[in-house]
């Protein structure tokens, strides 16, 4: 049966013809659909191609299931797609992360120059018959300090172009190693330093809970008087009401906005100010970028629907569906082992070592490695880590990933051993699959156990191997209402110490933990949990 693709935002014609000619798909281009109309027709389509205008809500995704298999965004930002809902409904979500980055960075530089030299104001003034040379005097960007917040694909290009304008570029990005930024030749600073020093501040971060209002009243108060602010990322990263106040007070001299909380913004107070220049979300709007992203989106949809090949998906690993199916017990296990290790390792991770031992039937284990890295990083970073971005994110954080395959004699058919080195030393977890898909963690550091790594609360207690130790721990936890669901006791090497592994019915509260730690025979307690 002919596959059907709906294109609900304007994309370059080259993408549409690629879908039709290369793949024989039936393509409907219907832009500007009201949500209810999109909802009523989405169930007929195998894939949806969008830009930033279409809001792919949980409602739309539910209406699309079960036929809808993929959403491709001809562009980068996916804040208009409910990704958890897409995953829930089995819909792959892809973007085209490279095609428009140069264009958007160039737009940012254009905005900075236009803002600095009053170009839009000059045009308007001339149109109204005036010749306002004095009023519209600008300044040089030469030797000024540009603060770049977010050193990803676009932020790093903006930094590079600004450097070539002979600006001093300072960078803040909590997820990128200082050395990465310094090796690129830029100064790595804290956010407060950036606020205090920058003459221009430009944001290039995704729109997330943590980045909404990143530039707000408190931030403006830390900035130099006369700073200029640019937002070519997403509306709301710079708080619009607080920006308005900061412009009125003179703290911020001028602002350039390509994006708004509500688009189109209509009669927006900011647009009434002479020292605000704005464009209607034009960051990615060049012919070159639009051809790039339309063709990439079309290519990704064709590969996905025809060959099960996943490219640039944010909620699926980049492999064929077939391989994924075969690997799924191992990817689940590796992800959980990673999550577990995150809790032992904390910050400053430098290395994750993954060793595969035994029989993996010649399968490509890259998705399993990715799952381990994803599991490790998920609890540690502020935004969504997925199978596609996990490895590159680890690279940016300065985490080395090494893998090794062995066929050493072991007690299991297959064994995955993951070691993570961090500021807290090296921690190791090993796991296996019993039968076809029963995941088990069989070792945590030097303790052999049999742990089912599903959602729950756990503790590892080191204690002196003397009568009464276990009883005192059970009684203490019981006093605080903590039920022990499972207990395993092992000896620590040939020392006089035991290791006790507990699965508890609820989180061990801080006061209970303190009480257990105070027990005379207890030497050390580590608690951790798995959330899925
Ligand atoms: N105006 C337009 O037409 C366009 C806008 N965009 C927007 O530009 C933004 C950047 O896109 P890319 O560079 O492709 O993203 P990216 O994912 O390559 O980089 C984002 C960077 O932000 C960093 N980051 C995350 N949270 C942060 C925080 N709290 N503080 C500082 N840094 C933080 C991340 O570590 C990452 O390095 C996105 O919001 C995207 O939607 C993208 C294309 C066109
Ligand atoms: O790619 C992005 O994230 C953009 O913001 C571009 O948006 P647009 O495709 O021009 O609606």
The residue whose CA has the least distance to atom 42 of ligand 1 is 76
Give dist(CA 198, CA 214) in Å, integer: 15
Closest ligand 2 atom, residue 53 Cα: 11
233 lines ligand 1 (CB under 6 A): yes
Residues 510/492, Cβ–Cβ less than 8 Å: no
Residues in Cβ contact with 269 at an 8 Å cutoff, skipping those fewer than 6 apart: 244
Closest ligand 2 atom number to CA of residue 281 = 10
CA distances from 110 to 103, 125, 277 (A): 10, 20, 11
The ipTM (two decimal places) reads 0.99
List the alpha helices (DSSP H) in 44-100. Answer: 58-64, 83-88
Please report the pLDDT score of residue 437 as a whole number.
87
- pLDDT, residue 494, reads 65
Confidence at residue 65, expressed as pLDDT on a 0 to 100 scale: 82
Domains and CATH numbers, the chain: 3-99+288-307 (3.40.50.720), 101-278 (3.40.50.720), 319-454 (3.30.1330.90), 456-532 (3.30.70.260)
Does 284 sit in the ligand 1 pocket, CB within 6 Å? yes
Hey, whose CA ends up nearest to atom 8 of ligand 1?
233
d(CA 442, CA 429): 8
C-alpha pair distances (Å), 263 with each of 115, 360, 421: 21, 50, 46
The pLDDT of residue 60 is: 98
Name residue, tokens 């676009």: 154
| pLDDT tens, per residue, the chain with 532 residues | 899 999 999 999 999 999 999 999 999 999 999 999 999 999 999 999 999 999 999 999 999 987 998 999 999 999 999 987 887 677 889 999 999 999 999 999 999 999 999 999 999 999 999 999 999 999 999 999 999 999 999 999 999 999 999 999 999 999 999 999 999 999 999 999 999 999 999 999 999 999 999 999 999 999 999 999 999 999 999 999 999 999 999 999 999 999 999 999 999 999 999 999 999 999 999 999 999 999 999 999 999 898 778 899 988 766 776 787 788 899 999 999 999 999 888 778 999 999 999 988 889 998 899 899 989 998 887 555 766 467 767 887 899 999 999 888 788 989 999 999 998 899 999 999 998 889 999 999 888 888 999 999 999 998 998 888 889 999 999 999 999 999 988 776 667 788 899 999 999 999 999 999 999 999 989 898 998 6
CA angle 428, 379, 91 (to 5 degrees): 110
Residue 453: closest CA among 339, 373, 308: 339
Contact between 125 and 132 (Cβ < 8 Å): yes
The span from the first CA to the last CA of the chain, in angstroms, equals 38
User: Measured from the CA of 176, which atom of ligand 1 is nearest?
Assistant: 35
Who contacts 65 (Cβ-Cβ below 8 Å, separation ≥6)?
A: 43, 89, 90, 91
What does the alpha-carbon distance between residue 497 and residue 338 come to, in Å, rounded to a whole number?
27
Using most ligand atoms within 8 A of CB, pick from 53, 233, 234 the residue to mutate for ligand 1: 233
CB of 403 closer than 6 angstroms to any ligand 1 atom: no
81 lines ligand 2 (CB under 6 A): no
At residue 387, the pLDDT reads 62
How far is 403 from 53, CA to CA, in rounded Å? 42
Residue 4 has phi, psi (to 5 degrees) of: -115, 135
Residue nearest to atom 43 of ligand 1 (CA): 76
- Residue with CA closest to ligand 1 atom 17: 152
Q: Is the CB of 299 under 6 A from ligand 2?
A: no
Q: In what order do the strands lie in the sheet with 187-188?
A: 187-188, 168-172, 145-149, 200-203, 227-231, 252-257, 276-278
Question: Which CA distances in Å does 337 have to 307, 326, 410, 429, 455?
Answer: 31, 19, 19, 7, 12
3-state helix, strand, coil in the chain (%, to 5): 35, 25, 40
Ligand 2 pocket member 51 (CB < 6 A): yes
The verdict on the CB of residue 235 being under 6 Å from ligand 1 is no
- Counting ligands in written order, which one lies closest to the CA of residue 234? 1
Closest-CA residue, ligand 2 atom 11, reads 52
Cβ(150) to ligand 1 under 6 A? yes
Which of 148, 206, 230, 388 to mutate for ligand 1's pocket (most ligand atoms within 8 Å of CB)?
206
Mutate to test the pocket of ligand 2, among 281, 291, 296 (most ligand atoms within 8 A of CB): 281
């Amino acid at each position: 049966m002919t596959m059907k693709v709906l294109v609900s935002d304007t994309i370059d014609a080259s993408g549409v013809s690629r879908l039709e000619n290369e793949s024989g798909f039936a393509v409907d281009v219907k832009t500007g659909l009201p949500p209810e109309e999109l909802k009523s027709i989405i169930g007929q389509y195998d894939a949806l191609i969008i830009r930033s205008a279409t809001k792919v809500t949980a409602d739309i995704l539910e209406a699309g299931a079960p036929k809808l298999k993929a959403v491709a965004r001809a562009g980068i930002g996916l804040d208009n797609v409910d990704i958890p809902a897409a995953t829930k409904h089995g819909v792959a979500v892809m973007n085209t992360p490279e095609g428009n980055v140069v264009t958007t960075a160039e737009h940012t530089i254009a905005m900075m120059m236009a803002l600095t030299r009053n170009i839009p104001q000059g045009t308007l003034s001339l149109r109204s018959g005036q010749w306002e040379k004095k009023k519209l005097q600008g300044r040089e960007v030469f030797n000024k300090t540009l603060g770049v917040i977010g050193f990803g694909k676009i932020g790093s290009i903006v930094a590079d172009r600004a450097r070539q304008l002979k600006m001093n570029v300072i960078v803040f990005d909590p997820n990128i190693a200082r050395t990465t930024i310094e090796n690129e030749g830029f100064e790595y600073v804290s956010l407060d330093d950036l606020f205090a020093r920058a003459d221009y501040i430009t944001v290039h971060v995704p729109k997330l809970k943590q980045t909404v209002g990143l530039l707000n009243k408190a931030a403006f108060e830390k900035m130099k008087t006369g700073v200029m602010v640019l937002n070519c990322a997403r509306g709301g990263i710079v708080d619009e009401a607080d920006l308005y106040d900061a412009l009125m007070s003179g703290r911020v001299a001028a602002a350039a906005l390509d994006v708004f909380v509500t688009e189109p913004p209509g009669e927006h107070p900011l647009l009434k100010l002479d020292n605000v220049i704005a464009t209607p979300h034009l960051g990615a709007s060049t012919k070159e970028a639009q051809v790039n992203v339309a063709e990439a989106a079309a290519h990704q949809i064709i590969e996905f629907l025809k060959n099960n090949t996943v490219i640039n998906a944010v909620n699926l690993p980049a492999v064929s569906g077939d391989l994924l199916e075969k690997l799924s017990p191992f990817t689940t296990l590796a992800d959980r082992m990673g999550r577990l290790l995150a809790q032992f390792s904390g910050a400053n991770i430098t290395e994750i070592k993954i060793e595969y031992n035994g029989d993996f039937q010649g399968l490509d284990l890259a998705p399993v490695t990715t799952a381990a890295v994803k599991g490790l990083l998920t609890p540690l970073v502020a935004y969504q880590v997925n199978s596609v971005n996990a490895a590159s994110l680890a690279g940016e954080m300065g985490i080395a990933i090494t893998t090794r395959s062995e066929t050493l004699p072991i007690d299991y058919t297959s064994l995955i051993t993951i070691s993570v080195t961090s500021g807290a030393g090296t921690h190791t977890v090993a796991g296996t699959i019993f039968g076809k898909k029963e995941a088990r963690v069989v070792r945590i550091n030097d303790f052999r156990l049999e742990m089912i790594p599903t959602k729950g609360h756990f503790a590892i207690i080191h204690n002196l191997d003397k009568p009464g130790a276990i009883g005192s721990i059970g009684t203490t936890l019981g006093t605080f209402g903590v039920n022990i669901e499972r207990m395993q006791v092992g000896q620590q090497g040939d020392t006089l110490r035991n290791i006790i592994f507990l699965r508890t019915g609820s989180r061990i509260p801080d006061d209970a933990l303190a009480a257990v730690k105070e027990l005379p025979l207890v030497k050390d307690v580590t608690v951790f949990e798995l959330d899925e």
